């Protein structure tokens, strides 16, 4: 299994460590369309979605990744990566590009400026709890009918979804790659395994 990490901008190294800890032996950094050759899954890291978007366009990765996602390559986006996967981006830049792979509406910096960063408990459906690091994180404002909410946080008295999955796409508003034993990376590796078995 080879997993690619989009390496135009953002926290690539942390995803690499989390993947290795989840048992992945081959990790490939993706900087141009040719790098996509042979990968079984793709991670879009956290960083700045407007910058990642611009760099995707200038390298031709916008079209190349779109084709891969449309042909069901498993893809996982954390934070800025989640914004890149959302069907609807609120408070984005007007020229911001996205892959529209996951039927969610996300608001950039949606947890408010006064709380640019925070850590809180993330609760998974099966009751497992992990620590979630939110750095100028996007907020999921709505999810489509086919989207599965995997985890939520309690935020100002409300349950807010922070990990979601639909079809070949997985996304988190937080940065599980900062947790050395990331559950999300194991979930993604399972998605990739299932997809490769199907081929």
Residues at the site binding ligand GLN, with contacts judged by CB under 6 A:
46-49, 79-80, 83, 108-109, 135-136
Spell out the residues 6+ positions from residue 57 whose beta carbon is closer than 8 angstroms to its own.
Answer: 97
CA–CA dist 165, 191 (Å, integer)? 10
The CB-of-106 to ligand GLN minimum distance in angstroms stands at 9
**139-143 β-sheet, strand order:** 86-90, 102-107, 139-143
Q: Which is nearer to ligand GLN, 90 or 195 (CB)?
A: 90
Q: Which is nearer to ligand GLN, 40 or 164 (CB)?
A: 164
Is 177 one of the catalytic residues?
Answer: yes
CA–CA dist 104, 92 (Å, integer)? 14
Q: Which is nearer to ligand GLN, 1 or 90 (CB)?
A: 90
Q: Which is nearer to ligand GLN, 2 or 100 (CB)?
A: 100
Only one residue has tokens 């914004």, namely 83
Catalytic residue among 14, 15, 56, 79: 79
Q: At 194, is the secondary structure helix, strand, or coil? A: helix
DSSP of 42-91: EEE-SS-HHHHHHHHHHHTHHHHHHHHHHTT--EEEETHHHHHHEEEEET
CA–CA dist 158, 170 (Å, integer)? 22
CA–CA dist 3, 40 (Å, integer)? 6
Is 79 one of the catalytic residues?
Answer: yes
DSSP 187: H
Catalytic residue among 148, 177, 185, 197: 177
Is 175 one of the catalytic residues?
Answer: yes
The CB-of-77 to ligand GLN minimum distance in angstroms stands at 9
The CB-of-140 to ligand GLN minimum distance in angstroms stands at 13
Q: Which is nearer to ligand GLN, 7 or 40 (CB)?
A: 7
Catalytic residue among 14, 15, 56, 175: 175
The CB-of-117 to ligand GLN minimum distance in angstroms stands at 9
The CB-of-116 to ligand GLN minimum distance in angstroms stands at 9
Catalytic machinery residues: 79, 175, 177
């Amino acid at each position: 299994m080879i997993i690619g990490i989009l390496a135009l901008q953002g926290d690539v190294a942390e995803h690499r460590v989390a993947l290795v800890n989840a048992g992945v032996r081959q990790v490939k950094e993706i900087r141009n369309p040719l790098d996509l050759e042979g990968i079984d899954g793709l991670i879009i890291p956290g960083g700045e979605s407007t910058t990642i978007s611009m760099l995707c366009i200038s390298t031709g990765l916008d079209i190349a990744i779109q084709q891969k996602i449309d042909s069901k390559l498993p893809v996982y986006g954390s934070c800025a990566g989640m914004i890149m996967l959302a069907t609807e981006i609120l408070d984005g830049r007007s020229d911001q590009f996205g892959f529209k792979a996951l039927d969610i509406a996300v608001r950039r910096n949606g947890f408010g400026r006064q709380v640019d960063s925070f850590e809180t408990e993330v609760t998974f459906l099966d009751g497992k709890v992990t620590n979630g690091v939110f750095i100028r994180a996007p907020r999921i404002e709505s999810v489509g009918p086919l989207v599965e909410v995997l985890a939520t946080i309690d935020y100002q008295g409300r349950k807010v979804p922070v990990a979601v999955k639909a079809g070949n796409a997985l996304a988190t508003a937080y940065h599980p790659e900062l947790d050395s034993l990331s559950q999300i990376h194991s979930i993604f590796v399972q998605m990739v395994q299932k997809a490769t078995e199907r081929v």
